[in-house]
Chains A and B, each alone.
Chain A
Amino acid sequence: MKNTTHLFYLMPTPDDSDDVKVGITRLEVSQIRLGTYQQALGPRLMARWELAWIGEQTEIEALEREVKKEFRKDILYEGRGYSEWVSGYSAHTIKPIIEEIIDGFRFKVTPVDSAMTPITVNNLEQVKEKYLNE
């Protein structure tokens, strides 16, 4: 049966400008998504999920929905590839607000161990191993 554990991630822009992408992926197949981002960046830059949370699909999807609702006015562009970028925040400045949302909704999600962040194509398998087997 398909493992429904999902991951909610915060991804910075390659040039570290004040924008952050909020996104989700099914953990079991997350290497496809992160690999695609890495592919787009080329070999000299590293795609990274600066911070991430793990949880069941319904919780992660609801978290993403509420975060997008909270930052609706800061998502300046629409259309494929644009609608998940929150402007004016980095992963670390948006983090306390996301933690407030998690707490207020009592989302059953776990922050990815800080020893494993940022998540890159190089350590994603360890993250999967740890959280898929929990």
Chain B
Amino acid sequence: MKIATRKARIKSWGEQFEHPFDISSDAIDLREMANNYEDGLIPVLEIAEGIESVIGQPLNQQEFDPRSRPNYLPKFEWVPVDKVHLDPRFQRDVSPNHVRKIEQDFDARMILVPCSVYRADKDIWCLWDGHHTVQNSIRQGWTHIPTWFTTVEHMTMDEIAQAKDALSGLAGRSFLSINKKNKRPVDNYDAFMILKETEDRETLSIMNILDSHACQPRRHKNKPGDVTHFTALWECYDMQNQAGIKGQYLSRALQFHRQHWPRASIEAEIMRPMCRVYQMFDIQLGSLPSHEFDRVLGEKLIEMFGSAESVQLGLKNKYLAHYGDTGRDDNPSQVTSGILNVYKQHINEERSPVAPIPFTV
């Protein structure tokens, strides 16, 4: 019998916390984990234990002070700007537009320290990361820039000649490592949560809408009301009603979803098409549909297809059955029309917009 060692490890680590949180290989929910600490601040060593429970023990299990090893770590230095160079072999082209973008938000407290390789043969520092930051520092008037740098000490001239390539290789690998291989992109969930925690006005407005319908932003669908599709969420929020107010259709669509599928996470392809349906009512007919419209429509969709996921899949299948491979409409458009077609063909109790794409449902 195969004992679930990994699963048991994760379970055992998670059980020591009073407030539960999700632990999986692609994310440990730190926002929820933080609820286990009075001040909401999590010691990184405890996060390290969590990571170990998921991926196992580290390759190196002996503790040591990295500062005690010569040439193990990069060094830190404030370098005169005229000593900073760029070797295009291991840096991207510079983007003036990107420099301007950073400049608009420049805040010296928030820069990431650029990284470089020190060329002892020329007494210069060659950047492999942070070139745009350096350009902004220059535009701010800085005479020196901070840098983490690596170097090769005590070499002969022959070795230095060879080392140029070695250093370039090191810099190139460093650049690729930080920018391609090991960079974890900020996904839409992280971006949303950062905006929320930094009290971005529109994000807080979305949060109010989510809260009022017992919905919550999450990385993965897990619990009732979990919202995981942030592109759709923003798109829905940004739809303005006739008075130019954002969020009204989103609120109604979430209410519709929660009312009919109370245990389900939010299906983006129900939320977004319902927002479009409400917008069509508002713009074409001058007002939103009645709540009775929502009730009978939801019941009919459940009767025909069942779960929220099956509703959107079922409507897309009906579209496919009608148009076959010649259909070129995107998924939200298919489902939006599918919903209006269901109402028209099976209910038709109140005046409703005509589906832009007609098909039998």
| Chain A contact residues, CB within 8 Å of chain B | 55-56, 58-59, 62, 69, 73, 76-79, 82, 100-101, 103-109
Residues of A within 8 A of B3 (CB): 77
A55 to B260, CA, bound (A): 19
Residues of B within 8 A of A101 (CB): 263
For B224, B260, B264, which residue has the most chain A Cβ atoms within 10 angstroms? Answer: B264
Q: Which of B71-79, B211-219, B299-307 contacts A (4 or more CB under 8 A)?
A: B299-307
A111 to B308, CA, bound (A): 20
Residues of A within 8 A of B313 (CB): 58
- Decide if B4 touches A104 in the complex (CB within 8 Å): no
- Is there a chain A Cβ closer than 8 Å to B222's Cβ? yes
Residues of A within 8 A of B305 (CB): 108
- Decide if B224 touches A104 in the complex (CB within 8 Å): yes
A82 to B3, CA, bound (A): 10
Chosen A-B contacts, 5 in total, with CB atoms closer than 8 Å, are A58-B313, A62-B310, A69-B222, A100-B263, A106-B308
- Is there a chain A Cβ closer than 8 Å to B109's Cβ? no
The smallest beta-carbon distance between A58 and chain B, in angstroms, is 5
- Decide if B309 touches A58 in the complex (CB within 8 Å): yes
Chain B interface category by residue count: 20 to 34
- Is there a chain A Cβ closer than 8 Å to B108's Cβ? no
A76 to B1, CA, bound (A): 11
A101 to B313, CA, bound (A): 20
A62 to B221, CA, bound (A): 13
The 8 Å CB contact of A108, one of B1, B4, B11, B302, is B302
- Is there a chain A Cβ closer than 8 Å to B2's Cβ? yes
Beyond A58-B313, A73-B11, A106-B264, 18 extra complex contacts between A and B, CB < 8 Å: A55-B306, A56-B310, A76-B7, A77-B2, A77-B4, A79-B4, A82-B1, A82-B2, A82-B4, A100-B263, A104-B224, A104-B261, A104-B263, A104-B264, A105-B264, A105-B307, A106-B306, A108-B310
Residues of B within 8 A of A62 (CB): 307, 309-310
- Decide if A78 touches B307 in the complex (CB within 8 Å): no
Closest B-chain residue to A55, C-beta based? Answer: B306
A106 to B306, CA, bound (A): 5
- Is there a chain A Cβ closer than 8 Å to B40's Cβ? no
The smallest beta-carbon distance between A57 and chain B, in angstroms, is 10
- Decide if B2 touches A79 in the complex (CB within 8 Å): yes
